[in-house]
Amino acid sequence: DGGITQSPKYLFRKEGQNVTLSCEQNLNHDAMYWYRQDPGQGLRLIYYSQIVNDFQKGDIAEGYSVSREKKESFPLTVTSAQKNPTAFYLCASSPPEGEQYFGPGTRLTVT
Amino acid sequence: QKEVEQNSGPLSVPEGAIASLNCTYSDRGSQSFFWYRQYSGKSPELIMFIYSNGDKEDGRFTAQLNKASQYVSLLIRDSQPSDSATYLCAVNRWDSSYKLIFGSGTRLLVRP
């Protein structure tokens, strides 16, 4: 089955710790994205990558980092510099036509 | 002004009725328009996309685009309780087909 997987589904961390969220896709899409969703809000773009070994900052990149070493994988690290990291994190991928397909998401809670 | 605006709702319709969800956008350069459905606690699921002015139908769903008025809508015919969800409108940015701007969503409630 083709799709996007994210792990873990729920993640709990203490303040001051870095945490890495996994995103893998087997849809053969070149483009991948990370979004953040807060309660009652739309999706905000954190980072995106159009091709392996290249990525660009989105609207809210501060406190986050990514890598794109393989076409299938686009992990997101939430660093201790991110002031309000508790949120629902969504990974997506898209073909050249532009429609984005989402993974199931990771709910991060930082206390 | 928000780049993509949706009424937050809830929009309440009886089962079997037509639900009409609306979205306006500010960037005249936008070329691609998407509707996603998001159930509570779940990730968004793509329903439809539309690129050209006019209507596009897929089963019970019809997307309508009017670029002159900067308006895109989603009609759901024969609404079912299982359609109860938040519907997100997304529009691509003029400078990148890869970057989408999402509205905050409209919550739809279909009453049995």
The tens digit of pLDDT for each residue in A43-84 reads: 999 999 999 999 999 999 999 999 999 999 999 999 988 889
Q: Do B44 and A41 touch (CB under 8 A)?
A: no
Please name the residues in contact with B9: beta carbons below 8 A apart, sequence gap of 6 or more: B106, B107, B108, B109
Amino acid A40: pLDDT: 78
- Using the CB atoms, write b or e for B60-95: b if 16+ within 10 Å: ebbbbbebeebebbbbbeebeeebbbbbbbbbbbee
pLDDT on residue B14:
98
Please tell me which of the candidates A40, A58, A103 has its beta carbon nearest to residue B43. A103
Residue of B89, B65, B59, B64 whose CA lies nearest to B77: B59
pLDDT at position B99 is: 84
Most confident of A26-35, A94-103, B22-31: A26-35
Confidence grade of residue A8 (pLDDT, cut at 50, 70, 90): very high
B2: tokens are: 């928000």
DSSP H or E run through A35: strand A31-37
- List chain B residues with pLDDT less than 50: none
Residue A39 has pLDDT above 90, yes or no: no
pLDDT of residue B98: 76
Give the pLDDT score at A1: 60
Residues of A with CB under 8 A from a CB of B: 31, 35, 40-45, 48, 50, 58, 90, 94, 98-105
Residue A23 is predicted with a pLDDT of 97
